[in-house]
Amino acid sequence: MRVVKDLLSNSLIRLILLFVTLFLMSVAGLNLYIDSKLPDENKIRDIDLQIPLKIFTADNKLIGEFGEKRRTALEFSSIPVHYVNAVLAAEDDDFFNHSGVSYLGLARSLYRLAISGRVQGGGSTITMQVAGNYLTSRDINIFRKIKDIFLAYRLEKTYSKEEIFEFYVNRIFFGNRAYGIAAASEVYYGASIKELNLAQWAMIASLPKAPSSINPLVNPKRALIRRNWVLGRMLELEFIHQEQYDLAVKAPLTATYHGLVSEVSAPYLAETIRRSMIQEYGLDAYKEGFEVYTTLDSKKQNTANEAIKNGLELYDKRHGFRDPENYLILFPNFFFELSLEERLYFINLDREKEPLEEVLKLLNSLNNTQSRFPALVINLNEELQVIGFDKTIYSLQWSEDLNWTRPYINENRRGPRPKGFSDILENGDLVWIQRGVSKESFSLSQIPDAQGALVSLDPKSGAVKAWVGGYDFFLSKFDRVSQSSPLLGSNFKPFLYSAALEDKFTASSLINDAPIVFEDIALEDRWRPRNASGKFYGPTRLREGLLQSRNLVSIRLLRELGVEKARAYAERFGFEKSRLPADLSLALGTASLSPLKNATAFSVFANGGKKVDSFFINKIVNRNGKIIFEKKVSQPTQVIDERAAFIIKDILQEAGRRGTAKKIIELERPDFSGKTGTTNEAESTWFTGFNDSLVTTVWVGFDQPKSLGNREFGSSIALPIWLDFIKNNLEEITLNISIPPRGIVAVKIDKTTGKRVGDDSNNSIFEYYLEENTP
């Protein structure tokens, strides 16, 4: 019997040993198999965050952000302790003690598997979540769970707990395009993670479990329950005291959506940079975390925006109120026949939905501006009632401020002054409402038809300081700074006169300002040019001809100089010869140029005859802070005689005192020069003003050329915009008093004849000459 027992005992031991051996071999084999299927845990550092493209001013203020995801990475030492504890309470309270796997959590998962018959989420440690989210896959199956377990052990051996925690919180999705805690705190609270309070940290920590269904913006009730559960867990784990818990759990949900808020509005330049980055780096530009630092000055950019906006609105109001589009026929008439009380009842209670929804659909299809929104007229009695896109009824009172609403007839005529809203509006009219300084203040307005552009740059380096491509980027994305090429009008004349000074002419050369008729084959007809004033002034010195912008003087000057010689000379400033007419109309500015190239061309006069290339990107930095591009400012090229540049600048300074640019005198600064420009029929108006520190060009016109009005000129539209911009930046613009360069001679001459006179003359002025041309 003992022998039988011994045999059985030995057989059992052998069987056990066999099973153990087979089990160990199976585990080893499974381990080898899974090990071969696992990614390299060291590659987690190589998994880049998708960080959007950001664009900044030269003084580090955000202009724009492009990319689908918002991410910013933080080091563990920068993460508040309360937030760390909130994450532990919500996800894995034993994180800093376990070796990557929670056996209790796995047991719970196995139990759910046995009960439900399918693998469910849960039971994963923070380490396993890092493995699953970034190194394996997002599928929920048993093989993935096993891979996560094995990989979690590897991660724990390779990285510190703090590094694994960083991987987790910097890459997890929090909803609303926010990836990582830094982005989440900005999106939900508009502040950095360090600026939040305990209730807010708990709210963010609760989001990764279900970033959509427990989102405080989408489902505040569920979000509040989840947040308070996290706070309760923190109390239970003794991460916080009872008093802290009591305060935090009573705190209301304060999360609101904080979309991208630009610190400086420069959308036209931002779009130009976005396109260039895509051309250079492809679609990776949206996720590689590039930071582009522009040359823009934030104050100059902000004041340029306001100057263009104010100037275009003033021009628009001068020409009256245009007939609004009427949509009454598109909606059931009874909607407008209701009394105001009935209308308010239906709108507020969402009754009679069909017409209301159609109205709202129309209004929401239109883009708002920063200060205006579209609305539909629904009542015209003593006051005006309109419905806005937000389903709100706004009431407006008539006031003297609305005297500008005289009906627009054409660019030169307006109708009689209205006495009330019913004189200019009807039910169903689509109008624009302007927000006032206070939230309760609203007034009738309209969007300007005319467009404008302003670009300002440093003439010594070419760095762009301000760039405004139109009235409102979201109404029209066409960038008039760089994409348009309007005719220059008289803004071209300084280039012509400069060519003359380097030829045989001087600033005192006489040209006859008298009627002339040309039989010009190139112009295909008789041409009778005239001055803007309609008058003729007889023999005129070139200085006077330029500062008063006399057309006939300029035409005769070009004829004597030679068209081809003037065209070749203009190329030095950056003009393309193919865009310079080969006839005498060139003298009146039938050449076309973008505002950016025009400002660059004028910088030659401000920079002593030297030309610089304009640029708007200082540097580009990658996600690691390494500079991958930095602008090397090239040496300016001497393209014209510095003496000729000085004389032109001096003449245009005088134009700012008594010529077409005489409004410059308001600045009480002697160092600014300027030239107006108005094309035929005032289809384009210009003003370019400069000193040695800043060149600024303003253009105003219509995208589809038509007359701005027979009483409109560069001096009445573009120059006031320039003045508005400069006045708001005057203190920062260095005062420059120019000294005549070597080779310049000052001679007293007779103002009428232009000839040299003695000291006893009482009709004399001093004039500058190139020394070889001294009279």
- Burial of residue 527, with CB atoms counted within 10 A of its CB: 0-12 exposed, 13-18 middle, 19 or more buried: middle
| Integer Cα distance of 134 and 167 in angstroms | 9
CB 132 within 8 A of CB 124: yes
CB 368 within 8 A of CB 374: yes
- Helices 81-91 and 126-134: angle between axes, nearest 10 degrees: 80
Active-site residue, selected from the candidate residues 102, 109, 265, 490:
490
> Rounded to an integer, what is the distance from CA 15 to the centroid of its chain?
77
| Integer Cα distance of 51 and 64 in angstroms | 13
Which of 598, 589, 575, 601 has its CA nearest to residue 683? 589
Which spans in 571-691 are helix H? Answer: 595-606, 642-658
What pairing do the DSSP bridges indicate for beta strands 413-414 and 408-410?
antiparallel
Active-site residue, selected from the candidate residues 91, 166, 642, 767:
91
| Integer Cα distance of 512 and 412 in angstroms | 32
Q: CB 739: neighbour CB atoms within 10 A?
A: 8
**Structure-token match 């002054």, residue found:** 417
| Integer Cα distance of 87 and 125 in angstroms | 11
In our burial notation (b when 16+ CB lie closer than 10 A, e otherwise), range 626-665 reads: eeeeebeeeebeebbbbbbbbbbbbbbbbbbeebbbbbbe
- Burial of residue 435, with CB atoms counted within 10 A of its CB: 0-12 exposed, 13-18 middle, 19 or more buried: middle
Which of 685, 647, 648 has its CA nearest to residue 770? 647
| Integer Cα distance of 526 and 529 in angstroms | 10
In our burial notation (b when 16+ CB lie closer than 10 A, e otherwise), range 678-713 reads: bbeebbbbbbbbbbbbbbbbbbbbeeeeebbbeebb
- Cα–Cα distances (Å) from 741 to 192, 302, 670, in that order, read 55, 36, 18
Is 490 considered catalytic here? yes
In sequence order, the 6+-apart residues with CB closer than 8 A to the CB of 734 are: 691, 692, 693
- Burial of residue 333, with CB atoms counted within 10 A of its CB: 0-12 exposed, 13-18 middle, 19 or more buried: exposed
Q: Any bridge partners for residue 414, and if so which?
A: 408
Question: Which pairs count as long-range contacts for 412-416, CB under 8 Å and 24+ apart, including other chains?
Answer: 412/709, 412/710, 412/711, 414/319, 414/320, 415/320
| Integer Cα distance of 241 and 596 in angstroms | 63
Residues designated as active site: 91, 490
